[in-house]
Amino acid sequence: MHAVTVLFATHARYLDHLTGPRHPERPSRLQAVVAAATGAAGEAVTALEPRPATRTELELVHPGWYLDRLSALADEGGGWIDEDTRMSAASVEAAALAAGAGLTAVEALRRGEGTAAFCAVRPPGHHATPTTAMGFCLVSNISVVAAALAEQGERVWIFDIDAHHGNGTQAVFESDPRVLFVSLHEWPLYPGTGRVTETGTGAGAGTTLNVPLPAGTTGDVYLQAFDEVIAPVVTRFAPTWLLISAGFDAHRADPLTDMGLTAGDYPPLVRRAVELVPPGRTVAMLEGGYDLDALTASTGAVLGALAGVDTAVERPSAGGPGADAVARARAVWLEG
């Protein structure tokens, strides 16, 4: 085994989740991400075969009646759930394998088979609430993994870098003190959640951290937000696992968003995050990202960061707006 081994979990069945012609969340997204695994970080990347999440594991997040409803629609051949979200006959199986990829990665990391893991999955998951499929998402993949870890006594940090706010993940854990949810996202943008004042409820007060950022925000502002706001909060929480909702639609080429990142902005952000958890306790799971070239470049950059090598093909971005948004978040969390 290499001194640094990044486990790369994916499955051909993900390609059978069909969303219809011209849908942004299409099978070619996965092919673009998989292509990155054979790039510059390829020597450190090892394939990992995911298992499906069990019904019991899925029910840590989603009630049985909701899962039954998805299965019934799959049995009918699939169809539209809302104006954005469509499933096919194979989508339920793909979703179980998507959540299961993260669980498989955790199991392999605990056995010492790798130093980090990247799960190239679809359908994505961070918009799915416990009882609602939305935003291309059916099952809250990363939430299933986090819930399983929390049940085992772990303190879990979910770091969502998708340009869209992970409303589903937040809904699952906003009252759970065992899980810290941190999101950097474009504001205003779908789904309209993720205000800086949303900081958790009840026993989970203080374990939801949102940094909403304006269109055009560049990588230097992301790092400022991390260093000045996120790192102090994460350090105080003292997580034992890091789960990254690795959406790459904050890339400046993405057709659905207006952020200013390049592939070169992801490695320093990921490296900073990994340093805040114990070694061998990081799992990244694919979320959004709809420009195929940007997906390949950004995934390759993150794989390189996890492997400890420089694979970025684009220079980091700088000079965009967002400093005021970081100051507001700092005031809420550190100066209030």
Tell me how far apart the alpha carbons of residues 278 and 2 are, in angstroms, rounded to a whole number: 19
Tell me how far apart the alpha carbons of residues 244 and 300 are, in angstroms, rounded to a whole number: 15
End-to-end Cα distance, the chain: 48
CB 11 within 8 A of CB 49: yes
Active-site pick, 127, 165, 185, 251: 127
* Amino acid identity at 46: T
Query: Position of tokens 């998507």?
Result: 98
How far is residue 142 CA from its own chain's centroid?
7
Output phi, psi for 98, to 5 deg.
Answer: -65, -50
Q: Residue 164 catalytic?
A: no
DSSP helix/strand/coil, 255: coil
Handedness of CA 130, 28, 22, 17 (dihedral sign): negative
Helix axis angle for 292-307 and 27-36, nearest 10°, is: 40
Query: Position of tokens 């960061």?
Result: 305
Cis bond before residue 316 (omega within 30° of 0) = no
Report residue 264 as tokens. Answer: 């070169």
How far is residue 100 CA from its own chain's centroid?
14
The residues annotated as belonging to the active site are 127
